[in-house]
């Protein structure tokens, strides 16, 4: 397997097509994907990754578009990764949405990528993380990741962000309940969008109370910003808060801490994937495995001791490893 030096070189020279091809290749785990990521890895770590999450229809795509324009005014380059399958970046857009997006998609400083829907969300999280790395390696200053904030899997995607915007809107009825369901703590900046609607101020108050009640969150108190995304109202203030949070993380040890935690999880995931890849290969070619299955079903043996037997080399290796690491 080889990496794709030509694609990498073309993308580095500024070819948007090469960049898109490279992402497709890595997304689909085509041959050379890992080598490409290996090659690009030293160039990553420069971009600031901003997660944008909230319920469907809350205005994530509209805000992503407006925040991008604000960042472009400050001469930052921007990569957008839309994980939300209904977002207007995804081609299935309504005409109005497509027109709305047009000026950012024709801007050279902006690269938009929609993630294809995956069979498994684990796969989606990995594909998203890999896409972010590629955009990072190719010099985007900011990478905005739009994702629907509904389940644990989306929360996992948001975990790849340095900073997260949590969008809510008035008039959903149980919006606070929805936020409480596990995602409140991931918000670094709270956005009350559709502030042209009734109930926006009440929602701000409720959010503020909830933040007061939530357990110690450290020195950063998430600000709450009201926006009307369609009109761009409140977006300059929001962009300022984003830059403020970035500065806060960079000047303290926040960014390093987040990235250490992320690297730790990533390394462990990769090791697990490698090991499980070999176990699957082994069992695939092991003709006696079918017998084992039959015996387990017939209760002639138990699955636990078989699992131990297959992984025995790791257990042995661990004994050596333990002593070895203990010494040095
Ligand atoms: N009234 C109002 N409508 C908005 C606002 N922001 C977005 N919308 C509309 O809400 C709909 C959903 O927006 P979209 O950005 O696609 O939401 P997403 O599903 O969270 O990405 C669109 O029709 C937008 O034009 C706002 O601040 N006020
Ligand atoms: Mg959307």
* Res 107: pLDDT: 76
Say yes or no: CB of residue 59 within 6 Å of ligand 1.
yes
Distance (angstroms) between ligand 2 centre and the Cα of 60 equals 5
* Nearest Cα residue to atom 17 of ligand 1: 59
Report d(CA 276, CA 269) in Å as an integer: 10
Q: Where are the alpha helices (H) located in 95-215, listed in sequence order?
A: 95-105, 121-137, 152-158, 175-180, 200-213
Report d(CA 153, CA 47) in Å as an integer: 23
* Res 163: pLDDT: 95
Block means of pLDDT (10 residues each) for the chain, length 328 residues?
Answer: 73 87 89 91 95 89 95 96 65 39 68 73 78 94 86 70 93 64 79 96 91 79 96 98 97 93 90 90 91 97 95 91 76
**Ligand 2 is a single-atom ion; what residues have CB below 5 A from it?**
60-61, 84, 87
* Res 100: pLDDT: 47
Q: DSSP code of 115?
A: P
Ligand with smallest separation from the Cα of 87: 2
* Res 147: pLDDT: 86
DSSP secondary structure, 238-298, as one string: HHHHHHHHHHHHHHSSHHHHHHHHHHHHHHHHHHHHHHHHHHHHHHHT-THHHHHHHHHHT
Distance (angstroms) between ligand 2 centre and the Cα of 249 equals 27
- Its pTM stands at 0.86
* Res 1: pLDDT: 46
């Amino acid at each position: 397997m080889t990496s794709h030096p030509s694609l990498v070189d073309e993308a580095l020279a500024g070819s948007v097509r090469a960049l898109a091809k490279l992402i497709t290749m890595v997304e689909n785990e085509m041959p050379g994907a890992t080598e490409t990521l290996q090659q690009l890895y030293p160039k990553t770590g420069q971009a600031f990754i901003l997660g944008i999450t909230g319920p469907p229809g809350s205005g994530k795509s509209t805000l992503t578009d407006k925040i991008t324009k604000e960042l472009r005014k400050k001469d930052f380059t921007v990569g957008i990764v839309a994980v939300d399958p209904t977002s207007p970046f995804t081609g299935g857009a309504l005409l109005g949405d497509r027109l709305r997006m047009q000026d950012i998609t024709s801007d050279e400083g902006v690269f938009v990528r929609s993630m294809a829907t995956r069979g498994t969300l684990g796969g989606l999280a990995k594909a998203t993380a890999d896409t972010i790395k590629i955009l990072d390696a190719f010099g985007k200053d900011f990478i905005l990741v739009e994702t629907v904030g509904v389940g644990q899997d989306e929360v996992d995607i948001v975990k790849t962000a340095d900073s997260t915007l949590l969008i809510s809107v008035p008039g959903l009825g149980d919006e606070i309940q929805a936020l409480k369901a596990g995602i409140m703590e991931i918000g670094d900046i709270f956005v009350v969008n559709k502030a042209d609607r009734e109930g926006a101020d009440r929602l701000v108050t409720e959010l503020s109370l909830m933040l007061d009640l939530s357990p110690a969150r450290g020195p950063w108190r998430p600000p709450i910003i009201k926006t009307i995304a369609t009109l761009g109202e409140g977006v300059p203030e929001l962009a300022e808060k984003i830059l403020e949070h970035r500065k806060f993380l960079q000047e303290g040890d926040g960014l390093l801490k987040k990235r250490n935690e992320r690297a730790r999880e990533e390394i462990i995931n990769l090791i697990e994937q490698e090991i499980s890849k070999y176990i699957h290969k082994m069992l695939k070619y092991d003709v006696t495995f079918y017998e084992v299955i039959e015996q387990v079903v017939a209760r002639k043996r138990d699955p636990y001791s078989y699992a131990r037997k297959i992984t025995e080399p790791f257990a042995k290796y661990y004994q050596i490893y333990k002593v070895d690491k203990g010494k040095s």
